[in-house]
């Protein structure tokens, strides 16, 4: 079992970050690796148990299921159901917390999974860098851009 943790500080209040992250189907709007995404069976994206069916920009097709969602804790968990890459028993947790002495956001993104022998390092690198670190950067840039627009208005 591989455990992976990535965390960062975003220079915006948690409510602004959470507004972007809480939509389980919204990652195609902000994550650079994600192409088209849809929730199966016409369910609402905040219905626990719903499944998002999406494509990465490289063409890979994935399905992930929402396991928990909390507006109080500003957290959610999900697991992979189908993926073309060897990620098994993949469960991920996203948690936001306010940095009260600065009105910023602590964002923790972690997961556990297993994979084929010999592919541990590459899978950990792909998830950690291509998904998590890239996601942090995308949200940071997006919030900075919208703050810049407000500043000009």
Which parts of this chain interact with other proteins (CB under 8 A)?
A: 5-9, 97-102, 104, 106, 108, 133, 136
Question: Which two structure tokens, joined as six digits, stand for 102?
Answer: 């600065």
CA-based Rg of the chain, rounded to a whole angstrom? 16
Residue 62 half-sphere exposure, CB side, CA atoms within 13 Å?
26
The nearer residue to other proteins, 54 or 135, going by C-beta atoms, is 135
Least distance in angstroms from the C-beta of 66 to other proteins: 23
The nearer residue to other proteins, 46 or 108, going by C-beta atoms, is 108
Q: How far apart (Å, rounded) are the C-alpha atoms in residues 137 and 8?
A: 10
Least distance in angstroms from the C-beta of 9 to other proteins: 6
Least distance in angstroms from the C-beta of 113 to other proteins: 17
The nearer residue to other proteins, 40 or 129, going by C-beta atoms, is 129
3-state secondary structure (DSSP) of residue 38: strand
Least distance in angstroms from the C-beta of 133 to other proteins: 8
The nearer residue to other proteins, 26 or 98, going by C-beta atoms, is 98
Give the H or E element holding residue 73. Answer: none
Kindly list the distances between the CA atom of residue 139 and the CA atoms of 3, 45, 142, in Å, as whole numbers in the listed order. Answer: 23, 19, 5
């Amino acid at each position: 079992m591989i455990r992976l943790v990535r965390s960062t500080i975003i220079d915006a209040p948690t409510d602004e970050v959470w507004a972007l992250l809480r939509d389980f189907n919204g990652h195609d709007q902000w994550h650079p690796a994600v192409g088209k995404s849809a929730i199966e069976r016409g369910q609402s994206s905040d219905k626990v148990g719903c499944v998002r069916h999406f494509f990465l920009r490289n063409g890979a097709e994935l399905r992930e299921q929402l396991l928990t969602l909390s507006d109080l804790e500003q957290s959610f968990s999900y697991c992979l159901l189908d993926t073309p890459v060897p990620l098994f028993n993949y469960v991920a947790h996203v948690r936001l917390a306010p940095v009260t002495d600065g009105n910023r956001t602590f964002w923790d993104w972690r997961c556990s999974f297993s994979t084929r022998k010999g592919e541990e390092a590459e899978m950990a690198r792909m998830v950690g860098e291509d998904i998590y670190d890239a996601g942090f950067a995308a949200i940071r840039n997006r919030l900075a851009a919208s703050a810049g627009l407000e500043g000009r208005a």
